[in-house]
Amino acid sequence: MAITKDIEAVALHLRAGGIIGLPTETVYGLAGNALDQVAIAAIYHLKERPASNPLIAHVGSMEQAKSLCAEWPAEAELLVKHFWPGPLTLLVKKKEVVPAALTAGLDRVAIRMPNHPVALALLGLLPFPLAAPSANPYMRISPTSALQVDAYFGERLEYVLEGGICERGVESTIIGWEDGKAVLYRPGALPQEEIERVIGPLAMPASSTAVVAPGMAKRHYAPQTKLILANDIEQSIKEHDGLRLGILSFSKTFSADNILRMQSLSKQGDLREAACNLYAALQSFDEVSLDLIIAEVFPEEGLGRTINDRLRRASVELE
């Protein structure tokens, strides 16, 4: 695999049906032609992702976005004026041109316009949108650098387009509509409160178990080491005396003889900085031989809600 800045070579590879690593402001994606069933199948195969879990189409213009949609709610227009390009994905009724493989056979397509200069430049060279789920094996931690994509896929991926460290560090927020009401399907890098200031309160999905949008799988974003959540880190450390521990906290640091790795996400208590640092910190725990990661529960507000969502999914044990 080549980590490259040669955007022309990458565009040619995509036009030929290839798959690449794509930088965005959220996380790196595993990208291919969103209208090509063969390319979509290759993405699912590389990620080892179930075909029942839909992908996001990344677009470079409003014209391209609307070419994929059978409906475009008035609230969608308001949201894109405020937040596109940016970390907001809209789930809307699809046109027939959108392959069923992209949407896992569902009648809605997830669309966003990334706010990254390299991604937008690449999309400007292509006549099609890009399907680009996070560039990690299914259920593993999303990558926020080209080197992390390389560590996951190596020679199985011909190109990763270099775009630096991702500015946001967690995936996009996903909004859709049910019975005319705006619904939050996945908390993400755009806080719920900012969206609600534009269109009012968001509802929750009618079903808590159906996977109708990316990132809704019960277990996701998980390190290989077992992870648990704790409101009281000090008490949890005492309860797990004798185990080799990794500690993930918001701003405080903790010490004990059995703590092998300590990661605080923001010494200043800044939730945006914490979200940006989350996945790199989770990755680092798998570099140490640990029995358990204890993660602090974050304030249930703003990006704290997103961090808690990711940590809860990471803590679900495989059945």
Question: Which tokens hold the place of 244?
Answer: 């080799």
Q: Is residue 282's pLDDT more than 80?
A: yes
Q: Would you say how long the chain is, in residues? A: 319
Helix pair 117-124, 7-15: axis angle to 10 deg: 50
Strand pairing category for 227-230 and 259-264: unpaired
More confident residue, 317 or 278: 278
| DSSP annotation string for 234-292 | HHHHHHTTTS-EEEEESS-----TTEEEEEES-TT--HHHHHHHHHHHHHHHTTS--SE
The string over 133-158, giving b where at least 16 C-beta atoms fall within 10 Å of a residue's C-beta and e elsewhere, is bbbbebbbbbbbbbebbbebbeeebb
Question: Which tokens hold the place of 18?
Answer: 């290839």
Q: What's the mean pLDDT in 277-283?
A: 96
Distance CA 296, CA 246 (A): 11
Average pLDDT, the chain: 95
Q: What's the mean pLDDT in 183-189?
A: 97
pLDDT, tens only, 16-29: 999 999 999 999 99
Instruction: Look up the pTM and report it.
Output: 0.95
- Report the C-alpha dihedral over residues 109, 110, 114, 120, rounded to 10 degrees: -10
Q: φ and ψ at 93, to 5 degrees?
A: -60, 135
